[in-house]
Amino acid sequence: MDSERRGLLLKLLDIEKAINDIELSTNFRKLKKNLKNLESFGGGSRKVRIDSPDNMEETIEFKSNSADMKITIEKYKENLDKYVKRLNLLYEEKSNLKKQLFP
């Protein structure tokens, strides 16, 4: 019983580390920040300069409220969704382990 409980606790710690790694990763944080900036961007005919969703090392530029901006927002959402799905699975697994450990 103790070895089984220890195994579950270790697995829980691994899951928490994986969650922490994702949430603190530079790429995840940049995706969230840039998406928030794009979605809350005011109108006008100003040009927007932001990291490319395909390669965060490159910067792209386009007019606000243009078709390019909408496509970029969708790409950011798709990229961020991959992280969010993984996080949701990890949180669900963590919750199930906690239920087993602490009934």
Domain extents for the chain?
2-101
Confidence (pLDDT) at 2: 81
Give the pLDDT score at 45.
Answer: 61
Residue 65: its pLDDT value, please?
A: 83
CA 15 – CA 92 distance, rounded (Å): 10
Residue identified by tokens 């100003």 is: 46
Residues 6+ apart with CB under 8 A from 80: 28, 31, 32, 35
The list of the chain residues with pLDDT below 70 reads: 1, 42-45
Residue 43, pLDDT score: 66
In sequence order, the 6+-apart residues with CB closer than 8 A to the CB of 86 are 22
This prediction has a pTM of 0.84
pLDDT of 47 reads: 86
